[in-house]
């Protein structure tokens, strides 16, 4: 055991008080606010709103796939537009924005014991540029020709040709501009998240005392800052190809009998740039989810996280490794087999730190005092779902298995399980967990349980059959498959079943939205620390936390974030800012 020094014996490493910006009017308090908590709610509300658009688009897609030929207004062009915008919104405008912009803004300053982000003005700009990006994206629905239908990967050359919806209209231009804006806005926010973790920590909050949520968001932000420039470069270059006729990505091409003016470009170059961003993006979404889930499990199982150090190292290792696996998305692009072998190897290696995390979550649960609260249910559902999605990832990470499966529904099922359902389960769990801090009231329990079970079981009923469809050879990216021989009766019925489940799960989300709005006024009063948690955000003098977060004095941190069920302590949790010499908690092996 390390010797424990009483607090008063330490020379105070004084934390300079940040000059806090104080709002003067309603506008600067709630609209053009520089308070990270308000910005977080703005981010979350915008992401949820645009997420609803994506939900409706997925319904429309399922209408077409489940009941082909029934709905005349869903033309093949419209179907491609739905697919593209659904994917783009979910990956970038919802998941990235909600995890980093929403949870990052709310939790980082509170969890590290800061009054606000270090650059509040830039933080505010970040949100407004994000909103602008969302509006540009939405505007493409009203532009001539509609939004782009190039698929969320926007592969050239088809993305900017007349055969693709929006390719020669406004669709692709608005899409690329919106992405460029998003990246500019994100960079502003990202600087804040990183530098606040580096410089905003209160006294005693060493890196190894940070809650894993902060570790996850911090590492994901660093990755995003380094990965998004690749998308930026790809977008700028494609925009030049489309608007000014350059040939970065466009090869010589004959379209409808006319030779286009492009010449000699490389579509593969785009794929490299896109996936250099695209694969880290998976972990940009996953790492915050990993971090949040660790905290949910520890809090609701009343037990310290198993292997904290290993969890931190695994987060860092995943962050680093995720930059050298990108080409496993390009096995079918005709690359050198040795190249494919290299990327298959790195892909399998990255499973190791990920598996360590899963083991540690399970071992945290082992002999814990598990409270099956709604956040805990979502956290458990995440572990199961992530393992499921991860296992099919091992299939697809191998070149020989990926090549036949690459264009089938199997891939759709895989990435929805691992990158769609799993992180969204964490988002739900996190909302049920932190909603009492944001609003001061609990979400309704009955509605919450209904929401959980329908979402969890429903998601499996949607995506499990999709694996089967994929193994049967049902291809993805097709608007209509009725005449194909692989579309047997069972495959068609399965498709209709998936669609009906998708409507039911979507309906459950409406119940959740109702709960979110209804509970703001009618929920049960939560008090300051309803989950009896240790981290600093639950120790604020007011709930919801007031401007400046911690009242007059910043908290001083005396212990790590996971002192649950410490033998000899009065209660089963010891907040991080409570001094005192308790016997050390059980040491993880």
Partner 1 sequence: MSVILVFLLVIAGFAGWWLSHQRLTAKPWLEQGLAGDFVGFDRSALPTAKIGLGVFLAVVGCLFSLFTSAYFMRMGLPDWQPLPLPRLLWLNTGVLVLSSVALQCAVVAARKGQIDNVRLGLATAGLTTLAFLVGQLMAWRQLTADGYLLASNPANSFFYLITGMHGLHILGGLIGLGRTSTGAWSGARPERLRLSVELCAMYWHFLLFVWLCIFALLAGWAATFIDICRQLLT
Site for partner 1 in 251-290 (CB under 8 A): 261, 263-266, 269, 272-273, 276
Cα distance between residue 339 and residue 362, in whole Å: 35
SS3 of 259, please? strand
Q: For residue 461, which of 510, 414, 497 has the smallest C-alpha distance? A: 497
User: Judged by CB under 8 A, does residue 13 bind partner 1?
Assistant: yes
> Shortest distance, CB of residue 7 to partner 1, whole angstroms?
5
> Shortest distance, CB of residue 263 to partner 1, whole angstroms?
6
Which one among 253, 324, 348, 504 touches partner 1, defined by CB under 8 A? 324
> Shortest distance, CB of residue 127 to partner 1, whole angstroms?
18
Which one among 70, 73, 144, 244 touches partner 1, defined by CB under 8 A? 244
User: Judged by CB under 8 A, does residue 245 bind partner 1?
Assistant: yes
Per the CB < 8 A criterion, the answer to whether 111 and 211 are in contact is yes
> Shortest distance, CB of residue 397 to partner 1, whole angstroms?
19
Which one among 91, 176, 296, 312 touches partner 1, defined by CB under 8 A? 312
SS3 of 573, please? strand
User: Judged by CB under 8 A, does residue 240 bind partner 1?
Assistant: yes
Q: Kindly calculate the radius of gyration of the chain based on its CA atoms and give it in whole angstroms.
A: 24
> Shortest distance, CB of residue 303 to partner 1, whole angstroms?
12
SS3 of 74, please? coil
User: Judged by CB under 8 A, does residue 400 bind partner 1?
Assistant: no
Which one among 125, 132, 143, 316 touches partner 1, defined by CB under 8 A? 316
559 CB-near residues (< 8 Å, 6+ apart): 209, 534, 574, 576, 578
> Shortest distance, CB of residue 512 to partner 1, whole angstroms?
36
SS (H, E, C) 462-509: HHHHHHHHHHHCCECCCCCCCCCCCCCHHHHHHHHHHHHHHHHHHHHH
283 CB-near residues (< 8 Å, 6+ apart): 220, 223, 318, 319, 322
Per the CB < 8 A criterion, the answer to whether 264 and 546 are in contact is no
Which one among 86, 201, 329, 414 touches partner 1, defined by CB under 8 A? 201
Cα 560 from chain centre:
26
Cα distance between residue 164 and residue 166, in whole Å: 6
Tokens for 94? Answer: 């919802």
User: Judged by CB under 8 A, does residue 209 bind partner 1?
Assistant: yes
CB atoms near residue 26 (< 10 Å): 8
Residue with tokens 């008080």: 17
Torsion from C-alpha of 305, 311, 315, 318, nearest 10 degrees: -130
User: Judged by CB under 8 A, does residue 342 bind partner 1?
Assistant: no
Looking at residues 352 to 381 of the shown chain, list those that interact with partner 1 (rule: CB under 8 A). none
Which one among 44, 173, 205, 212 touches partner 1, defined by CB under 8 A? 205
Looking at residues 443 to 462 of the shown chain, list those that interact with partner 1 (rule: CB under 8 A). none
Cβ nearer to partner 1, comparing 104 with 265: 265
Looking at residues 531 to 560 of the shown chain, list those that interact with partner 1 (rule: CB under 8 A). 556, 558-560
Looking at residues 214 to 233 of the shown chain, list those that interact with partner 1 (rule: CB under 8 A). 222, 225-226, 229-230, 232-233
**Any idea how long the chain is?**
589
User: Judged by CB under 8 A, does residue 242 bind partner 1?
Assistant: no
Cβ nearer to partner 1, comparing 217 with 426: 217
Cβ nearer to partner 1, comparing 400 with 589: 589
User: Judged by CB under 8 A, does residue 187 bind partner 1?
Assistant: yes
> Shortest distance, CB of residue 169 to partner 1, whole angstroms?
20
Cα distance between residue 171 and residue 174, in whole Å: 5
Which one among 52, 131, 195, 401 touches partner 1, defined by CB under 8 A? 195
Cα distance between residue 28 and residue 32, in whole Å: 5
Looking at residues 570 to 589 of the shown chain, list those that interact with partner 1 (rule: CB under 8 A). 579-582, 584-585, 587-588
């Amino acid at each position: 055991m390390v010797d424990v020094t009483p607090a008063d014996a330490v020379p105070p490493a004084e934390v300079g008080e940040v000059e806090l910006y104080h709002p003067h009017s309603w506008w600067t308090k709630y609209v053009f606010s520089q308070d990270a908590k308000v910005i977080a709610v703005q981010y979350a509300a915008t992401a949820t709103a645009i997420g609803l658009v994506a939900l409706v688009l997925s319904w429309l897609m399922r209408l077409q796939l489940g009941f082909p030929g029934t709905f005349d207004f869903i033309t093949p062009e419209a179907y491609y537009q739905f697919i593209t915008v659904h994917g783009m919104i979910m990956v970038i405008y919802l998941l990235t924005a909600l995890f980093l912009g929403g949870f990052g803004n709310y939790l980082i300053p509170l969890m590290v014991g800061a009054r606000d982000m270090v650059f509040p003005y830039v933080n505010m700009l970040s949100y407004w540029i994000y909103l602008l990006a969302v509006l540009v994206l939405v505007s493409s629905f009203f532009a001539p020709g509609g939004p782009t239908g190039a698929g969320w990967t926007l592969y050239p050359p088809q993305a900017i040709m007349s055969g693709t919806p929006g390719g020669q209209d406004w669709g692709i231009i608005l899409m690329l501009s919106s992405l460029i804006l998003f990246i500019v806005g994100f960079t502003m926010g990202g600087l804040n998240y990183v530098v606040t973790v580096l410089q905003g920590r209160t006294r005693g909050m060493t890196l190894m005392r940070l809650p894993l949520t902060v570790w996850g968001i911090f590492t994901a932000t660093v990755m995003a800052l380094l990965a998004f420039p690749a998308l930026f470069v790809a977008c700028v270059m494609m925009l030049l190809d489309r608007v000014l006729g350059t040939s970065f990505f466009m090869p010589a091409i004959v379209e409808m009998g006319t030779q286009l003016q492009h010449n000699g470009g490389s579509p593969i170059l785009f794929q490299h740039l896109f996936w250099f961003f695209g694969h880290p993006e998976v972990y940009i979404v996953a790492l915050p989810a990993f971090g949040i889930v660790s905290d949910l499990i520890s809090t609701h199982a009343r037990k310290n996280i198993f292997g904290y150090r290993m969890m931190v190292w695994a987060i860092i290792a995943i962050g680093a490794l995720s930059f050298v696996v990108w080409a496993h998305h390009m096995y079918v692009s005709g690359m050198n087999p040795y190249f494919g072998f290299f990327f298959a190897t790195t892909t399998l290696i990255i499973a190791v730190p990920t598996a360590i995390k899963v083991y540690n979550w399970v071992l945290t649960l082992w002999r814990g005092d598990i409270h099956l609260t709604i956040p805990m249910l979502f956290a458990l559902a995440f572990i199961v779902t992530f393992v499921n999605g991860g296992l099919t990832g091992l299939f697809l990470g191998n070149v020989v298995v990926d090549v036949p499966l690459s264009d089938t529904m199997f891939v759709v099922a895989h990435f929805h399980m691992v990158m769609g359902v799993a992180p969204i389960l964490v988002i739900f769990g996190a909302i049920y967990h932190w909603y009492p801090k944001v609003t001061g009231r609990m979400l309704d329990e009955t509605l919450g349980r209904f929401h959980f079970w329908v979402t969890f079981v429903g998601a499996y009923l949607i995506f499990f059959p999709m694996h089967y469809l994929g193994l049967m050879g049902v291809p993805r990216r097709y608007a209509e498959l009725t005449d194909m021989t692989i579309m047997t009766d069972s495959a068609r019925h399965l498709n209709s079943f998936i669609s009906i489940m998708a409507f039911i799960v979507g309906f459950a989300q409406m119940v959740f939205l109702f709960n979110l709005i209804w509970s703001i006024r009618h929920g049960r009063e939560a008090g300051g620390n309803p989950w009896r948690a240790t981290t600093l955000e639950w120790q604020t003098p007011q709930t919801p936390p007031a401007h400046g977060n911690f009242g007059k004095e910043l908290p001083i941190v005396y212990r790590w974030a996971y002192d649950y069920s410490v033998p000899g302590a009065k209660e089963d949790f010891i907040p991080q800012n409570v001094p005192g010499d308790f016997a050390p908690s059980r040491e993880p092996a």
